[in-house]
Structure 1
Amino acid sequence: MSSTEKRVLTGNEAIATGFYEAGGMVAASYPGSPTVEILEKLKEYDEVYSEFSTNEKVAVEVAIGASFYGVRSMATMKHVGVNIAADPLMTFTLTPTNGGFLLVTGDDPGLASSQNEQDNRVLGKFAHMGILDPSDSQEAKDFTKIGLELSEKFEMPMMLRITSRLCHGRGIVTLNERTEIEPREFNRNKEKFCMIPPGSREAQFFVKDRLEKLEKYAYDMEINKLEIKEGTDTLIITSGLVYYNLKEVDPNASIWKLGMVYPISEKKAKEITSKFKKVIVIEEMTPFIENELKLMGIECEGKKYFEFTGELDIQDIENGLYEAGILSNKKEYVKRFVETVSRPPLFCTGCPHRPTFDILKKSKAKIVVGDIGCYSLAALFPFEQSNSIISMGASIGMSKGMRKAMSMTKKEEPLVAVIGDGTFFHSGLPSFINLLHQKEDNENITIIVLDNRTTAMTGGQHNGSSGLYNGRDDMKVGIKTLLDSMGFDRVKEINQYEYKTTKKLIDEEIAYEGLSIIVVNGPCALRYKLENPYFYVDPEICISCRSCIKTNCPPLKMIKYEGIEKLKSSIDKDMCVGCSVCAQVCPVNAIKSSATLNKDGENIGD
């Protein structure tokens, strides 16, 4: 590959390319937006072993093991995934790395696809890691390589923090040949790698020493760039994608763009800022850089003028700089788009979760504890069947705590919890085992495991049971079999596309005074390309009751048929995948399968 070859890559693709070029050998992840495509890209390289692990904790442990053995490794995840990985990570950061180790965190300013907006620069500092913050795809690739090099040079894990817009945004990237890195010999020094006292006590001083060395090294780092503008006494300090939005504004100010946001060289920071009367920090989310500078005794302002939440676009920066007195006027922006009808997110056509939540809406369940996955959409209109959503796997532990509270306060009503199959394997298993601890026979809890045998919301990656649906996946753990072996005595399994049978079972289990688990299965229509003969509506039979419409399937709508006064339901045959749920809920059998039509569209019978 020529060093002059250029390609347009997303930030995610650039990180994968950088890891490959740097001689990376082992990469692990758990799929979560915005970082999913990093591992998808790495699958293209035979020289790299890559896997979607069971959860982020396992992914970090796989990468740690590879690093200990002396090869360059990487773990990638969305920002909340670092919470899951924190247990091994916080102790791993006390040990020296052997092969370079890089943790990629996809932060999500503005919560485009997340349940919170945490700033993992704070976690990176808490874990005593160096933190790199790229601004474009080229830097995403370059900083991946730099991070691995710094990890080996200072024997410390490094964090590459990237945000959603940069993960998915595209830029021109120069490609290079892969550099093969000879694995380092595994270090069998127990005091350095067995983190129990007294070794871990000594490690505290090692961590302090290497951070101080990295800070001194940061003084001359080329990725921290100072751009001087003559005739100004204002300095703006920034990092990441915000830098390019700031450049679009082009204020009368010098700019110090940080490539490594932690640690910041105190000596360099004081040298640079002392030459300016006013120092402004522009960064998304928490005042991380601002606080670091203030801890050094450097006077600066930032969040006084810029929002603490969401992305900072050009208009936000202009408004903030105007308030700070850096800009003498601000532009009036005119909307350049047409307002459209609001379109809430929907379950995909033929999604197997739809009938289950339609059934729950009609059931006697007043409390449904939700979880993270495609089925989180059930909290929204029209189903509105999740009363709480916190984190991966939390629905099971929360339902136990809620049930105990209900029992202690003499409140008796059905309690339902839902969890997806991917989440079941990710973090649900410990909570399921905990359900058996001090279980009371008369405590009414119904748990529904939604098994579509894929990690659907992030693009259809495998999970522990995917291999039961296709031969390409090597993980074939049956959820019901596993729950039976744990000791649960009431576990039932059903095809959730069989609407009436599923409704009868769910109603029975909700009424049951005790703990019951229902595994409702059905293939993800998108992942497994569900495509049966489409269904159609006979408007002469349809009574306009809207029972089918209430299932919220995208191909369904009410239309005006020629010669018929009332609106009747209809199905877009190009969207329909033939799941048959609409036909099953129709009370008058007005919805029929196209399998009964001949080539001329005439009904030839059932």
Structure 2
Amino acid sequence: MGTSLKEKRILTGNEAIARGFYEAGGTIAASYPGSPTVEILEKLKEYEEVYAEFSTNEKVAVEVAIGGSFYGARAMASMKHVGVNIAYDPLMTFTETPVNGGFLLVSGDDPGLASSQNEQDNRVLGKFANMGILDPSDSQEAKDFTKKALEISETFSIPMMLRITSRVCHGRSVVEIENREEVKPKGIDRDREKYCMIPPGSRKSQFFMKERLKKLEEYAYDTDLNRLELKENTDTLVITSGLVYYNLKELNPNVSIWKLGLIHPISEEKAKEIASGFERIIVIEEMLPFIENELKLMGIVCEGKKYFDFTGELDIRDIQEGLSKAGIIREEKKFAKRYVETVPRAPLFCTGCPHRPTFDILKKSKAKIVIGDIGCYSLSFLFPFEQSNIIISMGASIGITKGIRKAMSKNDEGEPLVAVIGDGTFFHSGLSTFVNTLHRKEDNENITLVVLDNRTTAMTGGQPNASSGLYNERDDMKVGIKTLLESMGFDRVKEINQYDYKAATKLFKEEIAYDGLSIIVANGPCALKYNIEEPYYYVNPNICISCRACIKTNCPPLRMIKYEGIEKLKSSIDKDMCVGCSVCAQVCPVNAIKSSKKIDREDEKIDN
């Protein structure tokens, strides 16, 4: 009888993690969308056996997963690296308790800052939280390590971290598909001393954490998560993990390799045993010298960041350059250019984006200081708007604005301040900062807070947020931001349609001039999430005066072109891109831009 072949699929690292959680009998999964890990939760929603939700923020996502784990269900929370900062309060205390159902935190680290405001290395946070840490190199390992992490979590009663990087998240490779193993939740452990983390219980937990890490280190001695690849006639050992391993293998240098899958804790006994057989040890890892420092703490002499950069990704060329500096590689391979030269393209707001008119209005206003936040509207920092003076983290704009205002008041400066925050960020971490603005509020402190409400978490792919249900029936939360703010105690909250340019301009002018605290809720559907079903607009070049007022709104369908028989460049609109938002027509001073819904007879030829 022949052996049946297992099904194989080509999966991204994110898809593989989702599949691994499903196969491992995972029950509860929660996340907050953020690149590079968004796809994990989106794929998990396809499995009926798994409860999967995008939570209000990462802290809530971790708490939902903790709750599942407390009930004895296998649970996972996934997020980008900076999201772990938001989740750290409950996480740091949860890691003191025993694990009932396997618990896995997926941290999507971002070497090179492809889509992030910082480049923190969350291996450090995992160690700080006394968690075990796995570091997969490809999609197959992403799936396997997810399953293994949940098993280890239950075996050693320890929360686990799967640290994965952007390129592994999005890269694709072949993965073997297996059936789901049902793991029935055990129910709540009612031993209160284990789980009520107040001083009497948490003091004991410090010793408990130390003991379980010691047991996990003993397990690390001969785990197949790590593997030693010996090469003859070399006295050099390279220790590495993650995608760097495959980039190193492409070079095939004359070194032995110890590839770590379990990067914390590392077995000191095993590390010293392996190191004793080599004269030279080099550690290759992206970002911080985490593994290098762990080995040095064990008294193992090694090198690493001496030859390799502390920031960015390490591709094949980077590794070759580092090994060449170290004297390991004598003849360097030649590689093609890392990228093809092309015309630089600045990122833009999408066609029909409701945020565009708002920032165009702000640019023309008397607001010289605009505090930005994290979201699509972060693009306001760039040309041509150049409106955000400060962007730090999600929800920070409101608190920062208060601090600036108080400092300005102490210095007798009354210049208007404007802060912007998106609706997704408002619900994520803005609510508490809004409440805080009511504390010691002075009547004459000029602050205008703008909530950009497009009723979706747009930058990460259009995931729902608490106000999305007001725009569609499929989303179950229908929180009105204006109503919520008024219930908090704000007495000057105005609402405006961002596409109504003239009315919005008038309102912004009034509120920025207002000598006190005011809030504008600027509404407009995300052009990607909710199609604007309006006729496209076109330009009559015979009326256009080439003033470029429409061009300055920075909408992608608009450009200046040469019309036949007309000497000057005139404005034009690509009707295949136009979504009919009408902002360009509203800013045109001579009514040269018209809706195709009402084509004048003399304009018929022009439109066609």
Secondary structure, aligned partner of 2:199: coil
Task: Verify: 1:119 aligned to 2:121, yes or no.
Answer: yes
One-letter amino acid matched to 1:335: K
Q: Is the 8 A contact 1:137 1:171 kept in 2?
A: yes
1:231-286 Cα deviation digits (max 9, x unpaired): 10000000000110000011000000000100000000001111001100000000
1:24-46 Cα deviation digits (max 9, x unpaired): 00000000000000000001100
Structure 1 CA distance, aligned partners of 2:453 and 2:5? 47
Q: Which of 366, 375, 378 is equivalent to 2:377?
A: 375
Alignment gaps of 5+ in structure 1: none
Instruction: Give the deviation of 1:334 after TM superposition.
Output: 4.5
Structure 1 match to 2:531? 529
Structure 1 match to 2:448? 446
Q: Which of 178, 189, 192 is equivalent to 1:190?
A: 192
Structure 2 CA distance, aligned partners of 1:253 and 1:604? 69
Q: Which of 296, 299, 310 is equivalent to 1:294?
A: 296
Structure 1 CA distance, aligned partners of 2:125 and 2:25? 27
Task: Verify: 1:518 aligned to 2:520, yes or no.
Answer: yes
Structure 1 match to 2:219? 217
Mapping 1:44-123, distance limit 5 Å: 44-123=46-125
CA, structure 1 residues 275+600, in 2 after alignment: closer, same or farther (shift >3 Å)? farther
One-letter amino acid matched to 2:566: I
One-letter amino acid matched to 1:279: I
1:461-497 Cα deviation digits (max 9, x unpaired): 0001000000000000000000000000000001000
Alignment gaps of 5+ in structure 2: none
Q: Is the 8 A contact 2:139 2:168 kept in 1?
A: yes
Structure 1 CA distance, aligned partners of 2:208 and 2:404? 45
Q: Is the 8 A contact 1:494 1:518 kept in 2?
A: yes
CA RMSD in angstroms comes to 1.4
Q: Is the 8 A contact 1:108 1:163 kept in 2?
A: yes
One-letter amino acid matched to 2:432: P
Structure 2 match to 1:265? 267
Structure 2 CA distance, aligned partners of 1:600 and 1:187? 79
Q: Which of 388, 397, 400 is equivalent to 1:398?
A: 400
Instruction: Give the deviation of 1:331 after TM superposition.
Output: 3.4
Structure 1 CA distance, aligned partners of 2:560 and 2:518? 38
Structure 1 match to 2:13? 11
Q: TM-score, normalised by structure 1?
A: 0.98
Q: Which of 342, 345, 350 is equivalent to 1:343?
A: 345
My pick for the range that moved more, 353-362 or 329-338, is: 329-338
Q: Which of 567, 575, 578 is equivalent to 2:577?
A: 575
Structure 1 match to 2:201? 199
Task: Verify: 1:43 aligned to 2:68, yes or no.
Answer: no
Mapping 1:468-547, distance limit 5 Å: 468-547=470-549
Secondary structure, aligned partner of 1:457: coil
Instruction: Give the deviation of 1:339 after TM superposition.
Output: 1.9
Mapping 1:307-456, distance limit 5 Å: 307-335=309-337, 338-456=340-458
Structure 1 CA distance, aligned partners of 2:437 and 2:339? 52
Instruction: Give the deviation of 1:599 after TM superposition.
Output: 11
Structure 2 CA distance, aligned partners of 1:142 and 1:601? 63
Structure 2 CA distance, aligned partners of 1:384 and 1:535? 27
One-letter amino acid matched to 1:178: R
1:509-553 Cα deviation digits (max 9, x unpaired): 000000000000000000012231100010001111111111111
Q: Is the 8 A contact 2:540 2:606 kept in 1?
A: no
Q: Which of 139, 159, 162 is equivalent to 2:161?
A: 159
Structure 1 CA distance, aligned partners of 2:413 and 2:74? 55
Structure 2 match to 1:460? 462
One-letter amino acid matched to 1:552: N
One-letter amino acid matched to 1:273: A
Structure 1 CA distance, aligned partners of 2:513 and 2:501? 18
1:441-473 Cα deviation digits (max 9, x unpaired): 000000000000000000000001000000000
One-letter amino acid matched to 1:439: K
Structure 2 CA distance, aligned partners of 1:154 and 1:521? 50
CA, structure 1 residues 61+603, in 2 after alignment: closer, same or farther (shift >3 Å)? same
Instruction: Give the deviation of 1:330 after TM superposition.
Output: 2.0
Q: Percent identity?
A: 78
Secondary structure, aligned partner of 2:233: coil
Structure 1 CA distance, aligned partners of 2:449 and 2:354? 17
Structure 2 CA distance, aligned partners of 1:599 and 1:205? 84
Structure 2 CA distance, aligned partners of 1:94 and 1:494? 48
Q: Is the 8 A contact 1:66 1:99 kept in 2?
A: yes
Structure 1 CA distance, aligned partners of 2:77 and 2:340? 42
Q: Is the 8 A contact 1:583 1:591 kept in 2?
A: yes
Q: Is the 8 A contact 2:540 2:603 kept in 1?
A: no
1:278-318 Cα deviation digits (max 9, x unpaired): 10000000000000000000000000000000000000000
Structure 1 match to 2:306? 304
CA, structure 1 residues 173+601, in 2 after alignment: closer, same or farther (shift >3 Å)? farther
Instruction: Give the deviation of 1:329 after TM superposition.
Output: 2.5
Instruction: Give the deviation of 1:418 after TM superposition.
Output: 0.2
One-letter amino acid matched to 2:535: P
Structure 1 CA distance, aligned partners of 2:339 and 2:311? 24
Structure 1 CA distance, aligned partners of 2:173 and 2:602? 51
Structure 2 CA distance, aligned partners of 1:17 and 1:110? 27
One-letter amino acid matched to 1:500: K
1:75-99 Cα deviation digits (max 9, x unpaired): 0000000000000000000000100
One-letter amino acid matched to 2:297: L
One-letter amino acid matched to 1:196: I
Instruction: Give the deviation of 1:63 after TM superposition.
Output: 0.3
Q: Is the 8 A contact 1:3 1:174 kept in 2?
A: no
Secondary structure, aligned partner of 1:375: helix
